[in-house]
């Protein structure tokens, strides 16, 4: 997948620098053969802005050990959650 993105980015720069319609047509033909894209999809992909690697956001932790204690103690009395959801909380408690 990474090599496909790199190839598409290099073709995108070539496509934007192409002067004539025939050059662009040759680039489209090459892209169709290499990646197997439909012609209209290839045009849209070449005209799109280059993709940059997205950074994943880290999850925000709401509450700390104090909240975990309250949740686990309330779950010990009445357990509305399914067992796979409850066991990790009980393991932390123990």
- pLDDT tens string 17-46: 999 999 999 999 999 999 999 999 999 999
Nearest by Cα to 68 from 93, 49, 43: 93
Q: What is the pLDDT of residues 45-82, one digit of tens each?
A: 999 887 666 777 777 666 666 666 665 666 566 555 55
* Terminal Cα distance for the chain, rounded: 44
Task: Identify whether the C-beta of residue 21 lies closer than 8 Å to the C-beta of residue 52.
Answer: no
Q: What pLDDT band is residue 3 in, cutting at 50, 70 and 90?
A: confident
How far apart (Å, rounded) are the C-alpha atoms in residues 87 and 56? 28
pTM of the model: 0.51
How far apart (Å, rounded) are the C-alpha atoms in residues 39 and 32? 7
Tell me which long-range contacts 70-76 makes (C-beta under 8 A, separation of at least 24).
none
């Amino acid at each position: 997948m990474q090599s496909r993105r790199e190839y598409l980015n290099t073709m995108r720069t070539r496509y934007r620098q192409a002067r004539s319609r025939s050059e662009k047509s040759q680039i489209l033909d090459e892209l169709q053969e290499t990646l197997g894209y439909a012609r209209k999809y290839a045009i849209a992909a070449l005209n799109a802005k280059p993709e940059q690697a997205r950074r994943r956001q880290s999850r925000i932790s709401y509450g700390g050990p104090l909240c975990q204690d309250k949740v686990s103690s309330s779950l010990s009395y009445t357990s509305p959650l399914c067992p796979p959801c409850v066991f990790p909380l009980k393991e932390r408690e123990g």
